[in-house]
Amino acid sequence: MRLFRNLNIALNGLRANKLRSLLTVLGIVIGVAAVIIMISVGQGAQAKITAQIESMGANLLMVFPDFNRGAVRGAGGNVNTLTREDAAAIAGIPYVERVAPELSVNATIRFESKTWTASVTGTTPDIQQIKNWFPEKGSFFDEKEITDIATVAVIGKTVADNILAPSDDPVGKTIGINNLSFTVLGVLPEKGASLGGQEQDNIVYIPISTAQVRMLGVNNVRLINVQARNPESMGFIQDLITNLLRERHRIPQDGNNDFSIRNLAAVLATAEDMTRIMTLLLASVAGVSLLVGGIGIMNIMLVSVTERTREIGIRMAVGATEKAILTQFLVEAVTLCLLGGFIGIVLGIMGSRIVSSIAGWPTVVSFYSVLLAVGFSAAVGIFFGYYPAKKASELNPIDALRFE
Amino acid sequence: MESQPVIQLEGIRKTYLMGPTHVNALKEATISIARGEMVAIMGPSGSGKSTLLNIVGCLDGPTGGRYILDGINVSQMSKDDLARVRNEKIGFIFQGFNLLSRATALDNVKLPLLYADQQVVADMDRKAMESLSWVGLGGHSHHLPSQLSGGQQQRVAIARALINNPSIILADEPTGALDTRTSTEVVDIIQKLNIEKNITVVMVTHEPIIAQYCRRIIRFRDGRVQDDQEITRPRSAAEDLKSMPVEVEE
C-alpha cells in the first residue's frame, strides 16, 4: 500500500514533466535496444555458424593427405598417400561409426543438349549418414555397385536444376560425365552454401571405385570422412588414426605425418568461442551506452532536485519524511529507467528483425537478453537515482521553502 | 483538555552558527497559547519571529527550552517524528502560497494526505473536495495554480492546511503578496476557520491592520517577547468586506 502510494506520487511527478521524462529515458531506450540487438545478432550468428558446421557432419574427423610434408615422399609431387585400404582400416577402430572416402574432380555433365560443370565425387554410401543427406528422389548407390565399378550417379540439386527440365523425372535418366555414360539413381535435396560460402549442391556422387578406375585412373583418395560414435571419443579416435596411418605408411619414429586430421568438433568449438566473444564484445559496447544513459538519468535527476527544491520543501512541510522523499525520487528514477527499458525492448526486437532481414541470418531475441536489459535498466535507475534522491531527502525544509 | 494550552513554549532558545560567530536568534521565549486563540506575531526583521514560527511549526528544533504541542513534548523529537507531527497537527499557510505548480488544486489540497497513515484513495478525493468547497473553490478543483488568481491560490493553500484537521494553523505573512481586498478576503477565511472550526491560528505579519483582526498580538524584539497584548474587540474581516468596493476579476 505504502509502495503503491509512493509509486503514485512518482508517476504523477513524471506525468507532470512529460517531455523531459521522455528525453531523459532516451539514453536508456537506446542502450537497452542496442544491448538486445547486439545480443540477438550475436546469438543469431552463433546459431548460424553452428548449424553450418553441423551440416558438414556431426562428430566428424576429416583425414587429408598432408600437402606440405607428405609431398616429400610422394613421387613427382603427386599426393597419393591415402587409399581406400586406409579407409577400411580406419573403419576397424573402436568407436568409429562410419567411414567414407572421397575423391573429386571437376567434370562436364551432359544431358541431351545441355552441359554443366560440377564436382564429381567418388564416395561410399556411408556419406549419406555422415552428412545427414539422403536422396529426395530415387536412391543412393550401394556396396554392390562399388564392387561392380558401376556407372551410376546421384546428383545434387544445382546439377539437376541446370541440366534437367523441371518436368523431367531424373531417376533412370542417362547423363554423360567426361564421355562416360552414367545412370542417375537419385537426386539430393538442397543443402545450401557451406561455412566457407562454397556451393554444396553442385555435386555428382558416383561410386569411389568408378571415380578411381574409370574417371581418374588412380588408387588414392582425396580425403577420408570419419564419423565418431560420440563427441567424447573424437580425441582418442584421432590419436588411434594417427598411430594406425603412421604404421600403415611406415613412417619412422622421427618422421613427419604424411596426412593431417581435422577435427570438426574443435572447429565448431573455436567458431562458437569466437562468436561468443563477439557477442560479449558487442553487448559490452551496447552496455556502455546503457551506462551513459544512466549518467544522463542521474544528471536530469540532479537538475530536477535543484529545480524542485521548493516542491521538496512543501512536501516536507506537509509531513513527508526523509524516507518518503528518498523513495519518491528513487521510484521516479527507476520508473524512468524501466519505462525506457520497455521502449528499448520494443525497439530492440524491431531492430533485430531489421538486422536479420538485412544480414540474412536469423536473430534470436532470447528471454535472457530481455531480462538482462530490464534488470540492467532497473539497476541503472537505482544506482544513478540514489545519489540525487539522497540529496533531495537531506534538504532542510526551511531552506527548501525559502529557495527561489 | 481545554485547560491545557495547545502551544506551550518554555524558555525557548535558538542559536545559529554563522561562520565563526553564534547568532542568538531567539534568546528566551516563553509563550502559552490556548486552544482556539488567534494570535498575531509582529516585530521587525531579525527580531526572531520567523525563527519562532519555524520552531512552532516543527520545521526546526530549539537549541534549548521546552516546547509542548497539544500535550506532546516535541523539543527533542527525531526528524521523522517531527514530519509526522507536522502532518497530523500543523497546517501551513505561506506568503508565496507554495503550491505545486504542476498539480491541480485538488491534488495540491490532497498532498498532506499522501503522507498520512491509513488513507483510502477514494476518501482522499472526497476530503480534498470538501476542503476546497469550504474555502469556496469547489468549482476550481481541476485548475492549475497558474490558472488561479493570487487570492484563489492562497485559498487553495488554506484548504490544504485544513485537510488533516490540524490542531494549529501557522500563517507566515499570508497576505504579503495580496492587495487589500484580497488580503481581507483571505483573513476572513482564516477568521472563519478559527471561529467555526475552533482551530488555533498563529500568524506572522508586519501589517498592523492585519494584526488587528487577531485577538492577541505578541511583539518580538531582539529575540525576546517585547509585548503581549490582548485585543478585546478584534476587527471582523467579514464586516470590513461589506464596506469595500468589489473589484472585477478577469
pLDDT at A314: 92
pLDDT band at A2 (very low <50, low <70, confident <90, very high): low
User: How confident is the model over A8-31, as a mean pLDDT?
Assistant: 79
pLDDT at A70: 44
pLDDT band at B3 (very low <50, low <70, confident <90, very high): low
Q: Does A12 touch chain B (CB under 8 A)?
A: yes
pLDDT tens per residue across span A91-133: 999 999 999 999 999 999 999 888 999 999 999 999 999 888 8
pLDDT band at A73 (very low <50, low <70, confident <90, very high): very low
- Amino acid symbol at A241: I
Please state, in angstroms and rounded to a whole number, the distance separating the CA atoms of residues B9 and B75. Answer: 10
User: How confident is the model over B154-166, as a mean pLDDT?
Assistant: 93
CB contact under 8 A, A401 and B114: no
pLDDT at A3 over 70: no
Please state, in angstroms and rounded to a whole number, the distance separating the CA atoms of residues A13 and A10. Answer: 5
CB contact under 8 A, A321 and B92: no
Which residues make Cβ contacts (< 8 Å) with residue A360, sequence separation at least 6? Answer: none
pLDDT band at A196 (very low <50, low <70, confident <90, very high): low
Which one of B94, B104, B115 would you mutate to disrupt binding with A, by most A Cβ within 10 Å of its Cβ?
B115
Please state, in angstroms and rounded to a whole number, the distance separating the CA atoms of residues B178 and B157. Answer: 14
Please state, in angstroms and rounded to a whole number, the distance separating the CA atoms of residues B180 and A253. Answer: 115
C-alpha dihedral, A97 to A103 to A104 to A105, nearest 10°: -170
Q: Does A315 touch chain B (CB under 8 A)?
A: yes
pLDDT at A211 over 50: yes
3-state secondary structure labels for all residues of chain B:
CCCCCCEEEEEEEEEEEECCEEEEEEEEEEEEECCCCEEEEECCCCCCHHHHHHHHCCCCCCCEEEEEECCEECCCCCHHHHHHHHHHHEEEECCCCCCCCCCCHHHHHHHHHHCCCCCCHHHHHHHHHHHHHHCCCHHHCCCCHHHCCHHHHHHHHHHHHHCCCCCEEEEECCCCCCCHHHHHHHHHHHHHHHHHCCCEEEEECCCHHHHCCCCEEEEEECCEEEEEEECCCCCCHHHHHHCCCCCCCC
pLDDT at A361: 74
Topology (CATH) of B7-95+166-241: Rossmann fold (3.40.50)
Nearest-by-CA chain A residue for B144: A16
The DSSP symbol for A188 reads: P
Between B10 and A269, residue with greater pLDDT: B10
Do A364 and A40 touch, CB atoms closer than 8 A? Answer: yes
Which one of B97, B98, B114 would you mutate to disrupt binding with A, by most A Cβ within 10 Å of its Cβ?
B114
User: How confident is the model over B196-212, as a mean pLDDT?
Assistant: 92
Distance (Å) from the alpha carbon of A285 to chain B's nearest alpha carbon:
39
Length of chain B as a residue count: 250
pLDDT band at A224 (very low <50, low <70, confident <90, very high): very high
**C-alpha distances in angstroms, B210 versus A394, B53, B189, B207?**
36, 17, 13, 5
Do A171 and A122 touch, CB atoms closer than 8 A? Answer: no
The DSSP symbol for A114 reads: E
pLDDT tens per residue across span A264-298: 777 778 888 888 888 888 888 888 888 888 888 88
Strands B168-172 and B200-204: parallel
pLDDT at A67: 59
Query: Which of A263, A219, A211, A218 has its CA nearest to residue A86?
Result: A219
Helix, strand, coil % over all residues of chain A, rounded to 5 = 60, 15, 25
pLDDT band at A76 (very low <50, low <70, confident <90, very high): very low
pLDDT tens per residue across span B18-47: 888 888 888 888 999 999 999 999 998 888
User: How confident is the model over A296-323, as a mean pLDDT?
Assistant: 88
pLDDT tens per residue across span A346-366: 999 998 888 888 877 777 777
pLDDT band at B1 (very low <50, low <70, confident <90, very high): very low
Please give the sequence-ordered ranges of beta strands (E in DSSP) within A131-207, or none if there are none.
Answer: 137-138, 152-155, 174-177, 180-187, 203-207
Order of all β-strands in the sheet with B64-69: B72-73, B64-69, B7-18, B21-33, B224-230, B216-221, B38-42, B200-204, B168-172, B90-93
Q: Which residue has the cell 564419423?
A: A227
Please state, in angstroms and rounded to a whole number, the distance separating the CA atoms of residues A313 and A327. Answer: 15
pLDDT at A14 over 80: no
CB contact under 8 A, B103 and A314: no
- Domain extents for chain B? 7-95+166-241
Question: Across-strand partners of B216?
Answer: B39, B230
- Domain extents for chain A? 2-52+269-402, 99-224
CB contact under 8 A, A321 and B111: no
pLDDT at A374 over 60: yes
Which one of B58, B98, B119, B125 would you mutate to disrupt binding with A, by most A Cβ within 10 Å of its Cβ?
B98
CB contact under 8 A, A318 and B57: no
pLDDT at B152: 94
pLDDT at B250: 46
**C-alpha distances in angstroms, B110 versus A59, A315, B138, B186, B192?**
72, 11, 14, 20, 21
Please state, in angstroms and rounded to a whole number, the distance separating the CA atoms of residues B203 and B191. Answer: 11
User: How confident is the model over B53-73, as a mean pLDDT?
Assistant: 91
Nearest-by-CA chain B residue for A8: B114
User: How confident is the model over B73-97, as a mean pLDDT?
Assistant: 91
Neighbours of A284 (CB within 10 A): 12
CB contact under 8 A, A398 and B60: yes
Strands B64-69 and B72-73: antiparallel
**C-alpha distances in angstroms, B93 versus A192, A314, B173, B200?**
80, 11, 8, 13
Distance (Å) from the alpha carbon of A5 to chain B's nearest alpha carbon:
7
The DSSP symbol for A85 reads: H
pLDDT band at A77 (very low <50, low <70, confident <90, very high): very low
Distance (Å) from the alpha carbon of A2 to chain B's nearest alpha carbon:
9
